[in-house]
């Protein structure tokens, strides 16, 4: 199943990041270059760095100048993340290009890659909630609450993994078809962001 491989890669990327736990650490992608595995690893690495940038920027004592730098970095990270999601959808589109959908085939509410994007984020939530359950400085009530949340997250991961694998199977069988809509982020575009084009 595709998601079994993806979840393994996500766990490895998150674990590799936490060897240094440094948002400036260099990524060493262990997967074969230009493979879908390498894309999944890179995607999850971006998500993991951004997770920690979001933590840093919420420090109430952060210097405003540093906060702005981090905000710009998060914006860039979001763009990179979207690009990688499109790379994943391109992979599936090319993989399934020869499949002819049934006349009554239906389209899903989201593409496979955007569902896989949510799976990557779920892996991060599970990792960090697991950390919370292992804290020695927290009271038993906090630990118990986090254990409950962890079980819910694991159930979500199982359900989403099953749904993604079923979607891919439906595409392969012709019961569903996929479309790839290229991003249309307007705030990054100097032609569509009024703050930017007003200054041109």
For the entire predicted model, the pTM comes to: 0.91
Can you give the residue range of the structural domain that contains 29?
Answer: 2-185
Contact 7, 120 (CB under 8 A): no
Q: Chunked in runs of 10, what are the mean pLDDT values of the chain (200 residues)?
A: 97 98 97 96 98 96 96 94 93 93 93 96 98 95 97 98 97 92 68 68
What is the pLDDT, as a whole number, of residue 198? Answer: 72
Contact 92, 176 (CB under 8 A): no
Domain membership of residue 56 (yes or no) is: yes
What is the pLDDT, as a whole number, of residue 179? Answer: 84
What is the pLDDT, as a whole number, of residue 32? Answer: 95
Domain membership of residue 199 (yes or no) is: no
Domain membership of residue 195 (yes or no) is: no
What is the pLDDT, as a whole number, of residue 24? Answer: 97
d(CA 151, CA 146): 9
For residue 56, what are the CA distances in angstroms to 46, 69, 74, 130?
A: 15, 11, 11, 20
Beta-strand pair 176-177/106-107: parallel
What is the pLDDT, as a whole number, of residue 141? Answer: 96
Domain membership of residue 198 (yes or no) is: no
What is the pLDDT, as a whole number, of residue 196? Answer: 65
Q: Which residues are registered as beta bridge partners of 176? A: 106
What is the pLDDT, as a whole number, of residue 180? Answer: 80
Contacts (Cβ under 8 Å, ≥6 apart) of 75: 188
Domain membership of residue 200 (yes or no) is: no
d(CA 131, CA 44): 18
Six-digit token pair at 169? 């199977």
What is the pLDDT, as a whole number, of residue 31? Answer: 97
Domains of the chain: total: 1
Domain membership of residue 135 (yes or no) is: yes
Domain membership of residue 144 (yes or no) is: yes
Domain membership of residue 192 (yes or no) is: no
d(CA 38, CA 46): 12
d(CA 188, CA 159): 34
């Amino acid at each position: 199943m595709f998601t079994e491989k993806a979840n393994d890669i996500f766990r490895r990327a998150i674990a590799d990041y936490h060897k240094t736990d440094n948002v400036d650490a260099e990524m060493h992608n262990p997967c074969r270059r230009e493979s879908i595995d390498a894309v999944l690893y890179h995607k999850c690495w971006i998500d993991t760095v951004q997770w920690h940038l979001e933590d840093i920027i919420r420090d109430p004592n952060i210097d405003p100048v540093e906060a702005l730098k981090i905000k710009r970095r998060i914006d860039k990270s979001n763009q990179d993340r979207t690009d990688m999601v499109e790379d994943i959808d391109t992979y599936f589109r090319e993989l399934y290009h020869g499949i002819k959908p049934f006349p009554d085939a239906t389209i899903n509410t989201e593409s496979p890659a955007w569902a896989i994007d949510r799976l990557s984020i779920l892996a991060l939530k599970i990792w960090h909630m697991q950390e919370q359950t292992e804290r020695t400085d927290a009271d038993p009530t906090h630990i118990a609450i986090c254990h409950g949340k962890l079980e819910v997250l694991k159930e979500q991961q199982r359900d989403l993994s099953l749904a993604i694998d079923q979607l891919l199977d439906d595409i392969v069988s012709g019961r569903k078809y996929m479309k790839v809509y290229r991003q249309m982020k307007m705030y990054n575009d100097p032609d569509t962001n009024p703050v930017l084009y007003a200054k041109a």
